[in-house]
């Protein structure tokens, strides 16, 4: 059976049984049509501009132990590093000088950076008049509030999966309930909310992915990042085979159709699996790229998964490289900060 995507789409938007319609889209045999429709929707709602976010991976210490992640605390083979608060601020200045309008500060869950340290870093970066995103994990409401008061604009916290049992299995010592609470708190505090999932986790089903998409819509998120699962040999998770690049692309496309005006990144993990992954994603619904702005010496140690791109490259090189790539598909780098502009539904 190969029902027309357009009619499914119409139903999807109005449907009371959204899960069934999302599943139908995820299972479509006419993937090209799904990707093209998502591309048209992207153009209609958020245009041809691509927002760049400079990613600074400032610490690879993590107190959590997620089974899929190379930075998990039990992985003793990682050479751990932390970048000094003052040096983080310098990196942000450098990123601004390359023309970035947003800095994303990302790390494992590292208690070294106290609220006071983070607030200082945040307010100094905000003095540069650029947007600031944090991606530093689960915190208390008070901590999220302190970062927000210091000036942080956005927060990234992937839900990873909304399958409660799978979540508990893959994230020992953590709970789906708490993660959802964190995302609600981030929302309450007026951050732009970025979330998303890993596509292809062992034990994950298309049914649970459909529920993940409904969850992202229920927040509703301002940004949704989808990354394919990439097996890391220094983790206890099983290595499973599957076309998680294609799966990620489909999830991304469906998200564009369901939340047409949000920001959707073409993720680094997609380019790890396909040398053209980010450009393919940008032509299937995505409108954001997060180039690496971490100093070259640290890059290879931030090994969430193996095979990460740009390991030997400098922040300046990546900035030029990505702009050329974006121009090669007749798109252009945005000159604005790229906040989510709500435009109502389809
Ligand atoms: N493959 C793909 N993505 C991963 N992440 C963690 N481990 C992996 C992996 N093995 C993702 C998680 C996390 C983000 C920073 O990296 O979604 O939120
Ligand atoms: Fe830490 Fe995030 Fe990796 Fe989990 S996914 S181990 S919280 S860095
Ligand atoms: Fe880093 Fe192309 S984006 S080398």
Does the residue 223 lie in any domain?
yes
On whether residue 8 sits in a domain, the answer given is no
pLDDT (tens digit per residue) in 242-297 = 999 999 999 999 999 999 999 999 999 999 999 999 999 999 999 999 999 999 99
| Per-residue model confidence as pLDDT tens digits over 172-195 | 999 999 999 999 999 999 999 999
Residue 304, judged by CB atoms within 10 A of its CB (0-12, 13-18, 19+), counts as buried
In a domain, 262, yes or no: no
Give me the domain span that covers residue 144: 52-239+291-329
Residue 15 is predicted with a pLDDT of 57
How many domains does the chain contain in total?
1
pLDDT recorded at residue 13: 55
Residue 31 counted as domain residue: no
| pLDDT (mean) for 329-344 | 95
pLDDT mean across residues, the chain: 95
**Whole-prediction pTM value?**
0.96
**Interval 216-233 mean pLDDT:** 98
Of residues 39, 2, 8, 25, the one with CA closest to residue 247: 25
Residue 304 CA, ligand 1 centroid: distance in Å: 6
Over residues 56-60, mean pLDDT: 98
- Phi/psi at 155 (5° precision): -140, 135
List pLDDT tens digits, range 80-123.
999 999 999 999 999 999 999 999 999 999 999 999 999 999 99
Residue 18 placed within a domain: no
Ligand 3 centroid from CA 294, angstroms: 12
Q: Which atom of ligand 3 is nearest to the CA of 309?
A: 1
Query: What does the pLDDT read at residue 233?
Result: 97
Q: Provide the pLDDT for residue 17.
A: 85
Tell me how far the alpha carbon of residue 271 lies from the centroid of ligand 3, in angstroms.
10
Using pLDDT thresholds of 50, 70 and 90, give the confidence band for residue 7: low
CB of 64 shorter than 6 A to ligand 2: yes
* Shortest-distance ligand to the CA of residue 328: 3
Question: Which residues have C-beta atoms less than 6 Å from ligand 1?
Answer: 68-69, 158, 160, 198, 227, 229-230, 232, 269, 304-305
Q: What CATH number is given to the structural domain containing 152?
A: 3.20.20.70
Ligand at minimal distance from the CA of 104 is 1
CA 169 to ligand 1 center in whole angstroms: 15
Q: Is 229 a domain residue?
A: yes
User: What average pLDDT does this structure show over 146-170?
Assistant: 98
H/E run at residue 267: none
The answer to whether position 98 is within a domain reads yes
Any residues with Cβ below 6 Å from ligand 3, and which? 291-292, 310, 313, 317-318, 321-322
Per the domain annotation, does 11 fall within a domain?
A: no
Beta strands of 53-100 (E only): which ranges?
54-59
- Say which ligand is closest to the CA of 304: 1
pLDDT band, residue 9 (cuts 50/70/90): low
């Amino acid at each position: 059976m190969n029902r027309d995507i357009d009619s499914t789409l119409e139903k999807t938007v109005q449907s009371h049984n959204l899960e069934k319609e999302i599943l139908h889209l995820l299972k479509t045999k006419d993937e090209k049509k799904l990707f093209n429709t998502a591309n048209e929707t992207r153009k209609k709602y958020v245009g041809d501009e691509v927002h760049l976010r400079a990613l600074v991976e400032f610490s690879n210490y993590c107190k959590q132990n997620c089974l899929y992640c190379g930075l998990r605390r039990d992985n003793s083979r990682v050479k751990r590093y932390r970048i000094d608060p003052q040096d983080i601020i310098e990196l942000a200045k450098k990123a601004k000088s390359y023309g970035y309008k947003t800095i994303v500060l990302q790390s494992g869950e590292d208690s070294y950076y106290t609220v006071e340290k983070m607030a200082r870093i945040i307010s100094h970066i905000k003095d540069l008049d650029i947007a600031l995103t944090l991606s530093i994990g689960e915190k208390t409401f008070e901590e999220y509030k302190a970062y927000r008061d210091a000036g942080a604009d956005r927060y990234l916290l992937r839900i990873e999966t909304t399958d409660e049992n799978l979540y508990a299995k893959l994230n020992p010592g953590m709970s789906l309930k708490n993660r959802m609470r964190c995302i609600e708190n981030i929302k309450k505090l007026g951050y732009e909310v970025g979330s998303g999932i890993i596509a292809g986790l062992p034990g994950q089903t298309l049914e649970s992915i459909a529920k993940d998409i409904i969850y992202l819509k229920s927040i509703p998120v301002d940004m949704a990042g989808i990354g394919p699962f990439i097996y890391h040999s220094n983790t206890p998770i099983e290595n499973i085979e599957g076309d998680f690049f294609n799966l990620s692309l489909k999830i991304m496309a469906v998200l564009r159709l369901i939340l047409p005006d949000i920001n959707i990144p073409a993720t680094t993990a997609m380019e790890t699996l396909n040398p053209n992954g980010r450009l393919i994603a940008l032509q299937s619904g995505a409108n954001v790229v997060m180039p690496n702005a971490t100093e070259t010496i640290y890059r290879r140690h931030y090994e969430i998964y193996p095979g990460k791109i740009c390991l030997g490259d400098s922040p300046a090189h990546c900035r030029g490289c990505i702009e050329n790539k974006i121009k090669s598909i007749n798109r252009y780098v945005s000159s604005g900060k790229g906040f989510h502009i709500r435009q109502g539904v389809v």
